[in-house]
């Protein structure tokens, strides 16, 4: 039912998986224990997304700013990423989930880049849920990449500045072939976007929870989906203007 401006199930859910370190510290455990515990919540989120018929799930695993963390923690995160790719890819393939990694891979080791490419190739034929892992990703980086591409096209004469539109800029961003996120979830009690999909989140519904990521279970995910189902998405229009189909976000703000 979408005639009242309400989309009951989001097509695309994006999650900032925050609070792993604090979850571990509360239990007198090293921070990396929280990151390991969070893998279970990743599995739960994937399973629940499949069960609810969500098309795309994007998880913010490692931001371009996370390199500023202590070298030991960064190294452990890279090791965990490698192990997770090796262990989870068969599960994803079995459940018809397609894996995509978005972000700047050039900073990763050759071994990790090869593992990423192999995992994507192994699930490339799946046509169910698209699971995107944002790794060494930043919203500003994403926009810069698009602008650089457009600048090169203008310099070559392929494109004129007058023809640059929102749609043209969007076409150069990560996952431009997929819908923008409908629902943004952040765990861990913080209430900010933290440079995550800045352009694509212009009309995204924002849901914040105090639960740390390792505690984000099926019930917590359901609460976020219930929040979304209750939202009326007007995209700048008045309530009485809403038609039988949910409109695309316009250029103006609401």
Which of 18, 142, 180, 182 is catalytic? The answer is 18
Query: 2 φ, ψ to 5°?
Result: -125, 0
248 catalytic, yes or no? Answer: no
Q: In angstroms, rounded to a whole number, what is the distance separating the alpha carbons of residues 61 and 134?
A: 6
Which of 20, 28, 66, 142 is catalytic? The answer is 66
| Span 80-118, pLDDT tens digits | 888 888 889 999 999 999 999 999 999 899 999 999 999
Stretch among 61-75, 111-125, 128-142 having the lowest mean pLDDT: 61-75
Q: Which two three-digit tokens encode residue 52?
A: 């609810």
Burial of residue 136 (number of CB atoms within 10 Å: 0-12, 13-18, 19+) = buried
| Span 136-183, pLDDT tens digits | 999 999 999 999 999 999 999 999 999 999 999 999 999 999 999 999
18 catalytic, yes or no? Answer: yes
């Amino acid at each position: 039912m979408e005639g009242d401006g309400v989309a009951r199930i989001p097509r695309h859910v994006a999650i900032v998986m925050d609070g792993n370190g604090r979850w571990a510290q509360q239990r007198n455990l090293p921070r990396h224990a929280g990151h390991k515990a969070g893998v279970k919540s990743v599995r739960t989120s994937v399973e629940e997304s499949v069960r609810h018929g969500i098309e795309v799930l994007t998880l913010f695993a490692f931001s371009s700013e996370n390199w500023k963390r202590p070298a030991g923690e960064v190294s452990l995160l890279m090791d965990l990423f490698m192990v997770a790719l090796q262990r989870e890819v068969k599960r994803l393939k079995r459940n018809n989930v397609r894996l995509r990694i978005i972000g700047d891979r050039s900073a990763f080791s050759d071994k990790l880049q090869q593992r990423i490419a192999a995992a994507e190739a192994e699930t490339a034929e799946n046509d169910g849920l698209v699971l995107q892992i944002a790794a060494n990703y930043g919203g500003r980086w994403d926009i810069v990449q698009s602008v650089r591409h457009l600048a090169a096209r203008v310099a070559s004469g392929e494109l004129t500045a007058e023809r640059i539109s929102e749609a043209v800029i969007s076409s150069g961003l990560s996952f431009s072939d997929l819908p923008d996120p409908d629902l943004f979830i952040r765990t861990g009690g913080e209430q900010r976007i933290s440079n995550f999909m800045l352009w694509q989140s212009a009309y995204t519904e924002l849901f914040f929870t105090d639960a740390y990521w390792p505690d984000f279970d099926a019930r917590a995910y359901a609460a976020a989906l219930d929040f979304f189902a209750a939202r009326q998405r007007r995209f700048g229009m008045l309530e009485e203007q809403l038609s039988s189909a949910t409109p695309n976000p316009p250029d103006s703000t609401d």
